[in-house]
């Protein structure tokens, strides 16, 4: 009989990385089951790990009585009930660092496209507007902009590195001032929003950051301002955002994340002129997704070998 650990897959991730996982484990794909209850009754007790992306409720942990480890494909784990896991003696691991460059690249792509209206200009050209109406509208510089990074953590620092190459004036807000960087620190998000041209959100989701970018912050950013959200959909009050974009109280926005994915709020979908939307793809390159998968693979192997976990969250 195989001594491979059994892993209950709640949400599957990048297929080539899933296939690597199959080398060292037996995977049970709950999301494919039509009768989830019956599937859990049949396979739950033999599984010692759950594989997921961002979400794992306490009820699922209870359906896996021999659970030791939750493998979270992503650095953000706001939907994993960490308290419930800890209470049950279950460890959670995530995938930090290996995606920093990739997510920072996407943040810059959205900021650059948002500021220079690249997507809107593409539509303008394809629709024959250039011929009919002449030159596309004039926009603001990207280089030399004032940029505010909300969350100067692992990914935020990589965004700052890229902004430096664009000769930007870089500042940041988070709860703790860093002692290892020279960038200007704002202890109040509203003050930073009022001072910058571009605000990039790259903080964790969850209750402590819910709607942290509210009407006040959006209006402080103002009619020439650009908001980029590559954090979590929950960090922005999206109704306030849609309203401000429609009547020009905010210049533009570019969003990679939404509160209830893959749903996108209807009032955002209807805004084209000053809003760019992407489907939560900031880490979605082959290389990075494989690297994320390998972090989980190595954690599972460590558990099997009785070695310390590599990226524990709790
Ligand atoms: P990290 O290294 O932990 O950095 C997060 C930063 O946010 C920290 O510097 C922290 O500083 C700050 N922060 C936390 N809570 C805050 C609050 N309430 N108010 C203000 N600042 C706060 O995390 P990371 O690896 O850079 O990842 C950040 C997040 O990006 C993830 O949690 C995830 O949600 C998101 N993400 C999205 C994608 C995507 O595909 N779009 C990909 C990867 C990650 P303080 O503790 O000092 O406040
Ligand atoms: C996702 C992310 O993991 O790491 C995170 O927190 O949001 C992304 O890298 C990825 O989209 C798979 O859900």
- Residue 2, pLDDT above cutoff 80: no
Distance set, CA 133 to CA 116, 137, 274 (Å):
19, 10, 19
Name the closest-CA residue to atom 10, ligand 2: 74
Average pLDDT over residues 104-126: 98
pLDDT tier, 96 (very low <50, low <70, confident <90, very high otherwise): very high
Backbone angles phi and psi of 227, in degrees to 5: -105, 130
Q: What pLDDT, in 10s, does the model give residues 293-313?
A: 999 999 999 999 999 999 999
Q: What pLDDT, in 10s, does the model give residues 164-206?
A: 999 999 999 999 999 999 999 999 999 999 999 999 999 999 9
Average pLDDT over residues 248-274: 97
So what's the pLDDT on residue 285? 98
Active site residues: 232, 261, 280
Name the closest-CA residue to atom 28, ligand 1: 203
Question: Please, what is the average pLDDT of the chain?
Answer: 97
Identify the nearest ligand to the CA of 103 by its number.
1
Say how far apart CA 74 and CA 293 lie, in whole Å. Answer: 9
pLDDT tier, 280 (very low <50, low <70, confident <90, very high otherwise): very high
Identify the nearest ligand to the CA of 154 by its number.
1
Average pLDDT over residues 246-250: 98
Percent of the chain with pLDDT over 70: 99
CB 114 within 8 A of CB 254: yes
Q: Find how far residue 15's CA is from the centre of its chain.
A: 20
So what's the pLDDT on residue 1? 54
Name the closest-CA residue to atom 4, ligand 1: 153
CB 63 within 8 A of CB 44: yes
Q: Find out whether the beta carbon of 283 lies less than 6 Å from any atom of ligand 2.
A: yes
pTM of the model: 0.98
CA of 95 to the centre of ligand 2 (A): 9
Q: What pLDDT, in 10s, does the model give residues 35-58?
A: 999 999 999 999 999 999 989 999
Q: Find out whether the beta carbon of 103 lies less than 6 Å from any atom of ligand 1.
A: yes
So what's the pLDDT on residue 3? 87
């Amino acid at each position: 009989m195989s001594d491979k650990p059994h892993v209950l897959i709640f949400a599957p991730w990048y297929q080539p990385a899933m296939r690597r996982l199959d080398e060292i484990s037996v995977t049970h794909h709950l999301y494919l089951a039509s009768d989830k209850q019956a599937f859990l009754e049949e396979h739950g007790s033999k599984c010692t790990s759950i594989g997921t992306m961002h979400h794992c409720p306490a009820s699922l942990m209870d359906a896996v009585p021999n659970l030791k480890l939750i493998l979270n494909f992503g650095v953000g784990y706001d939907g994993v009930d960490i308290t419930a896991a800890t209470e049950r003696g279950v460890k959670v691991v995530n995938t930090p660092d290996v995606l920093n460059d990739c997510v920072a690249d996407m943040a810059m792509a959205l900021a650059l496209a948002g500021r220079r209206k690249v997507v809107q200009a593409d539509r303008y050209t394809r629709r024959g507007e250039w011929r009919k109406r002449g030159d596309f509208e004039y926009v603001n510089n990207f280089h030399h902009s004032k940029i505010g990074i909300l969350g100067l953590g692992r990914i935020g620092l990589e965004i700052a590195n890229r902004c430096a190459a664009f000769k930007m004036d870089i500042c940041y807000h988070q709860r703790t001032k860093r002692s290892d960087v020279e960038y200007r620190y704002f202890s109040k998000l509203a003050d930073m929003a009022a001072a910058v041209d571009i605000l990039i959100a790259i903080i964790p989701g969850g209750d402590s950051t819910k709607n942290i970018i509210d009407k006040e912050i959006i209006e402080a950013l103002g009619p020439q301002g650009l908001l980029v959200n590559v954090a979590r959909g929950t960090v922005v009050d999206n109704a306030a955002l849609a309203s401000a974009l429609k009547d020009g109280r905010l210049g533009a926005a570019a969003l990679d994340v939404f509160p209830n994915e893959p749903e996108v709020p209807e009032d955002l979908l209807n805004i084209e002129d000053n809003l760019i939307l992407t489907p939560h793809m900031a880490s979605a390159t082959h290389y990075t997704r494989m690297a994320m998968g390998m972090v989980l693979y190595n954690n599972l192997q460590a558990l099997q070998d009785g070695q310390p976990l590599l990226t524990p969250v709790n």
